[in-house]
Amino acid sequence: MTHTLELLPVDPHRPAAILSDLEEAISGQRSFLPVPAHDRTRTDQLRTTLSPGTDIDAGVALVVATSGSTGRPKGAQLTPVNLVASADATHQFLGGPGQWLLAMPAHHIAGLQVLVRSLVAGVDPLTVDVSAGFHVLDFADAAAELARTGDRLYTSLSPMQLAKAMNSLAGIEALRVFDAVLVGGAATNPRLLTAARELRIHVVTTYGSSETAGGCVYDGAPLPGVKIRVDDGRITLGGPMIAAGYRGLPGHEAFAEEGWFRTSDGGELVDGHLTVTGRLDAVIDSGGLKLHPEVLEKEMLSLPGVDGACVVGIPHERFGQAIVAAYEGSAERADVLEGLDHLPRWQIPKDLRRVEKLPVTGPGKVDRQAVTRLFSGD
């Protein structure tokens, strides 16, 4: 049995308007491809690559696009079981269902899952319009309204949103009302996590992707039903949240083993706790020495005045690749280099630049390709 894959434009001003569509998708009646209604370029790209208007297995509820930050976006085929299992496991980990505040784009998996969790919990989510950016006072007003319900309260933010909210008293007070603030989509500044704990903000770091129906590892621990393996340094995830492959890419190597997703991330699993070391396809080979850029980024983020960092490799005649880095924040270039002085000399960036804002793709993910172009002059 097949459905026709339907385009589902998500209005950033009214993201909860798609709740009835999601309910039909979860009940197996229809199949949707969520797209940003306000971004015609992205919508046209997804229309071209993921073929809405054509047949799809009726067992697929949603086709959720990957960020496409390292190439053409792929479409993870999520079943009703994937979506509901993820929502149920999240609530089980957090201590029970509750009220959700949506403050992320609802065409991305993180935002979609806030809506799905609300459906599963039988509550109407409160939403914040982020079409013109994340405004802390709007977030604080919504948090206060939600707090009046007396229920358990949850929200999901990107690291950049968390940092912005924690930069004001209104934002800190708003964050404190939540029983859990899920933060994912990118690595979170360790200084920010320490500050959150000191301010009694319950941040839960999440790891996952569209292919796993959203975050499936919380604070390094697998959600109920999730299985983790690290094979030759590569993270492989299993469980009921794993997508039914990619749209139009049958037999893709990432889903070669049924019920498992072979990620592009490196990691370490010690006593059941997962540490993500970084994307394997982003590893920089400089003179035969290999560096996960996330390792150097973490060092940079630990320095005062560094609010964001991105490390990339660019072609180099002698080394193969040269390590370069861009950062945002108040720190002077000389102070950053001094703060990295304890590292092996080959890891020190050959070029270090401060930028007003790092380019992003998706909900808070730094666009590594755009940073690479900054140094290559393309």
pLDDT over 70 at 364, yes or no: no
Q: For domain 80-276, which architecture applies?
A: 3-Layer(aba) Sandwich (3.40)
Check if the beta carbon of residue 137 is closer than 8 Å to that of residue 26: no
pLDDT over 70 at 173, yes or no: yes
Q: What pLDDT is attached to residue 215? A: 95
pLDDT over 80 at 67, yes or no: no
d(CA 192, CA 181): 13
CATH value of 283-376 in 3.30.300.30, 3.40.50.300, 1.25.40.10, 3.30.750.24 = 3.30.300.30
- In order of 203, 212, 246, 254, the CA distances from 74 in angstroms are 30, 13, 6, 12
d(CA 183, CA 123): 22
Q: What pLDDT is attached to residue 378? A: 52
What average pLDDT score do residues 310-336 get?
91
Q: What secondary structure, in 3-state letters, does 284-296 show?
A: EEECCEEECHHHH
The fraction of the chain above a pLDDT of 90, given in percent, is 78
pLDDT over 90 at 218, yes or no: yes
> Which residues have C-beta within 8 Å of that of residue 333, sequence separation ≥ 6?
352, 353, 354
Residues of the chain with CATH 3.30.300.30: 283-376
Check if the beta carbon of residue 182 is closer than 8 Å to that of residue 190: no
Q: What pLDDT is attached to residue 342? A: 94
Residues of the chain with CATH 3.40.50.12780: 80-276
Burial of 81 (0-12, 13-18, 19+ CB in 10 A): middle
| Confidence bin at 110 (pLDDT 50/70/90) | very high
Q: What pLDDT is attached to residue 377? A: 63
The fraction of the chain above a pLDDT of 70, given in percent, is 98
| Confidence bin at 317 (pLDDT 50/70/90) | confident
